[in-house]
Every structure is written in C-alpha cells, then in structure tokens.
C-alpha cells in the first residue's frame, strides 16, 4: 500500500507552500466538473479578471486571452466526484484541468534551452503561473464567484478536519498537532480506518508513505503514536506495536525509511538510498541500491521480514524538470502478470493522478524497468485520491483497495480460464 502524503493523507502541501484552505480549494477544484464553452459564456471570467498576469518566455501573456471558456456542469449531471461519470464526453474538464491545460498551461522546461529560452526564466514563469491558478481557484469558490455553490463542500471538508473541542488541548499538547491550537487534524480519519482494516483483514500488508516533501517525520510520528495507543484522538484504538503478540505496524527509523533517486530512463536509471542497521542497533552509512529489480527486492525483503510500514521520499527535482509527467514521477515497481498478481499487488493512492494520464506516479515492471501504459495501471495499481471524498467517507481507501483487488482477481481468473476449459 503506497500512499501519497500531501493532499491525500494530509490537507496541506508544504512542498508547494499550500496551507489548509489553499490545499482544500485545490483538492475541490479537481472534483468540480465543467464543459469547455465559448469565451463569452465563461462562468469564471470575473474571477480570472481579478488576478494579475505574467508574460511567458515566448512573449505570450498568461492567462491566455484566446482560450475556451469554462462552465460548471449542472448538479443533475455531476456534482463533486472523482470522475465526471459521463463516459468519454468531449470537452469535459475539472476546474483544475481547465486551468492547467487551457487557460494557464506551464511553459515546457525540458526543451527550454533547445528552443532558445532561459530555463531559469521558464521556471520563474511557471511558478507565477502556479500562483495565478491558486488565486483564480480562491476567487472562483468565494462568495460571488462562479463556483460559489460549492462552498458547502469546502465547509464540510473543514468540519471533517476539525478536532473535537474537548480533545483539542490534549491533541495540541501531544506534539502531533500541525497547528499550535490543536484544532485541525494532520492525518485524515480515513487513513486510520485503512490502517485498522489492513491490520485485521490484510495483516501481511505493508504501508509505504510516499512524498516529494519534507513531512515524513510528522507523518511517522503520528502513525507510530496511533500504533502505540498514544494518539489522543483514538484512545480506544487497538495496539499495533506488537505488544499483544500481533503485527508491529510502526515505522522503524531509520531502517524503514529511504529516498528514491532518478537520473535516467529505463531499468538502471533509478536508485534508492537506504540506511543499514545492524543487530546491535547501530546505523551504518547510507548505501545506494541501483536498478528497479534490486530496489524491488529490498522493499520485498523488508515486507517479508515483517516490516509493516515504511517511508520514502521521492525525487521531486526529476519530476519537476521533466514537465511533471508520470514517466518521471514517483516510481511504483509492480508485478503485472497474472501469476504474480496471485501473490502481490502494489496499490498507490495519490491525489495528483489524472483521469487520462498518470501525471505523478510512474508504475513500472520491476524486471524490465519499462513504464506501464496508464490504461493498464489505472484502477489496478494507480488509484486517484480526492480529498473531498476522503474526508466524506472514512472507508474510501478501504473500498479503493477492495476494488483494486477485484480487478487483480479478474485478471487472474481470465488467465486461468483457457486451462479450465481444457
């Protein structure tokens, strides 16, 4: 079980400088659907006019004045959902997709120097584009904005993150609170529901936290507190630290952590930095494991040894410098053949997985190192997470795992069908 951290498990994104309100608006924008319309019919035109602009390296202004407009779908068609559910309807976009693909696309960084542009200027322009997207999103969801009708969803998300008043002092004093007041949760409730379900129904599973950011220590601290029965919001939670003879789901530091490094395409273009800890508890120097097969074996050996939780920091610079494409994203090493799916299923939840492309997670066959087509990995290995739905349904991750398992089982059954008929 691989779980993105920012805006999947926590409603904040320190890696990109987003506080809770900004992160929730961005998460909601990925779940609000609309259609491309003529510019004159654009429902968010007033919000766009309320922000500034930037001149891109090619001399063109952004936001683009010649792009199509955007109009939200009627509530009868689609409200807030992870997918618009309208099949392959042409011209349907989420608000975020419209801003990213139509109105405020990034300038291409990979070919900047070849095209005669200064890469530093391209990066600076793209950072300004990111700021403009957030400003527009805030105005769209504000009173009087084109998406004002979605305010109840924002309020519900804030309520789901609120710590009960009577528990706030203990939460703040525990050292787990992300905000000094202790009134806002850090890890979402759905995560703890998933952890408890895994411990009871899939005890051989391993949870792997994945992040581009620097938030692993905070995530691990709260996760371990829950496992040790020390989480102030879950005083009656079952112990998951092995003290009762059961599985130990705590992250062991530093041997349960590491960093993924990317420096080229293909099987040997990925490495993982780990720290070996000897039997005496002494941590040795970091070692680098190179190649998808070797990395997969290290992670699998940890799982086989009983390690039930890990944390990995991914290579943000590589993804960013490759125009944020899925093939340069967080590496997920999988076994895709039916025989292997009987024994092992790797599932990655990430809010930034797109509807038509992987965008941020790079599912690869661990043997060949080849990237899997999104049509193969979507729903099976890669699961799009949506913070509005994560906060609405505490069992959303559990249901997602069960659906991925059902897809894997279907592949296994289909592969066995010819033998059964003979």
Write down the domain spans for the chain.
Answer: 33-146, 175-421
Both structure tokens of 227: 């496992």
pLDDT tens digits, one per residue of 118-136 = 999 999 999 999 999 999 9
Prior bond to 277 cis, omega within 30? no
What is the arithmetic mean of pLDDT over 315-334? 94
Structure tokens of 84?
């618009």
- Tally DSSP H helices, then E strands, for the chain: 14, 15
Q: How many CB atoms lie within 10 A of CB 83?
A: 13
Mean pLDDT of 353-358: 88
Place of tokens 């070797």: 294
Average pLDDT, the chain: 91
Judged against a pLDDT cut of 90, whether residue 40 lies above it is answered with: no
What is the spatial distance between Cα 248 and Cα 373, in angstroms, rounded to a whole number?
35
Three-class secondary structure of residue 306 per DSSP: coil
CB atoms within 10 A of CB 323: 15
Whether the predicted pLDDT of 421 surpasses 60: no
Is it the case that residue 173 has pLDDT exceeding 60?
Answer: yes
Give the confidence band of 422 by pLDDT, cuts at 50, 70, 90: very low
Please give the average per-residue pLDDT across 305-332, as a whole number.
Answer: 94
φ, ψ for residue 182, nearest 5 deg: 75, 20
Instruction: Give 144-161 pLDDT, tens digit per residue.
Output: 999 999 999 999 999 999
pLDDT at 88: 63
Contacts of 272 (CB under 8 A, 6+ apart): 258, 259, 260, 261, 288, 289, 295, 298, 312
Q: What percent of the chain has pLDDT over 90?
A: 74
The total of other beta-carbon atoms located within 10 Å of residue 52's CB is 10
Measure the CA–CA gap between 92 and 346, rounded to whole angstroms: 30
Inform me whether the pLDDT recorded for 83 exceeds 90. Answer: no
Q: Is the pLDDT of residue 110 over 70?
A: yes
Q: How far apart are the first and last CA of the chain?
A: 36
Nearest to 96 by CA among 414, 372, 307, 356: 356
Which residues, other chains included, contact 37 with Cβ-Cβ below 8 Å and sequence gap of 6+? 68, 69, 70, 71
């Amino acid at each position: 079980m691989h779980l993105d951290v920012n805006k999947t498990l926590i409603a904040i994104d320190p890696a990109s400088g987003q506080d809770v309100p900004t992160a929730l608006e961005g998460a909601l924008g990925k779940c609000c659907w609309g259609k491309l319309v003529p510019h004159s019919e654009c429902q968010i035109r007033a919000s766009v006019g309320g922000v500034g602009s930037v001149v891109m390296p090619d001399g063109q202004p952004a936001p683009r004045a010649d792009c199509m407009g955007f109009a939200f779908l009627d509530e009868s068609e689609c409200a807030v959902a992870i997918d618009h559910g309208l099949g392959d309807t042409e011209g349907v976009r989420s608000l975020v997709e419209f801003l990213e693909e139509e109105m405020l696309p990034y300038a291409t960084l990979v070919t900047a120097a070849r095209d005669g542009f200064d890469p530093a200027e391209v990066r600076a322009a793209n950072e300004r584009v990111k700021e403009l997207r957030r400003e527009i999103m805030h105005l769209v969801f504000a009173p009087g904005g084109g998406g004002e009708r979605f305010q109840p969803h924002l309020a519900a998300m804030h309520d789901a993150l609120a710590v009960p008043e009577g528990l706030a002092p203990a939460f703040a004093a525990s050292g787990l609170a992300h905000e000094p007041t202790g009134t806002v949760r850090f890890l979402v409730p759905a995560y703890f529901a998933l952890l408890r379900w895994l411990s009871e129904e899939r005890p051989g599973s391993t949870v792997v936290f994945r992040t581009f950011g620097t938030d692993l220590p905070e995530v691990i601290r709260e996760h371990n507190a829950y496992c040790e029965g020390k989480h102030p919001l879950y005083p009656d939670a079952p112990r998951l630290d092995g003290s009762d003879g059961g599985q130990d789901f705590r992250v062991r530091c530093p041997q349960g952590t590491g960093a993924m490094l990317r420096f080229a395409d293909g099987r040997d273009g990925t490495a993982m930095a780990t720290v070996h800890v000897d039997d005496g508890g002494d941590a040795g120097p970091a070692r680098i494991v190179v190649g998808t097969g070797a990395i997969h074996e290290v992670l699998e050996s940890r799982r086989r040894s009983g390690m039930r939780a890990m944390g990995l920091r991914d290579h943000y610079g590589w993804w960013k410098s490759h125009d944020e494409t899925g093939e340069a994203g967080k590496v997920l090493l999988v076994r895709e053949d039916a025989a292997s799916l009987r024994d092992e299923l790797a599932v990655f939840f990430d809010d930034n997985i797109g509807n038509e492309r992987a965008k941020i997670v790079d599912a690869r066959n661990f043997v060949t190192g080849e990237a899997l087509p999104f049509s193969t990995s979507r729903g099976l290995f890669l699961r799009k997470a949506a913070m509005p739905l994560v906060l609405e349904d505490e069992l959303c991750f559990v249901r997602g795992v069960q659906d991925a398992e059902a897809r894997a089982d279907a592949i296994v059954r289909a592969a066995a069908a010819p033998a059964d008929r003979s």
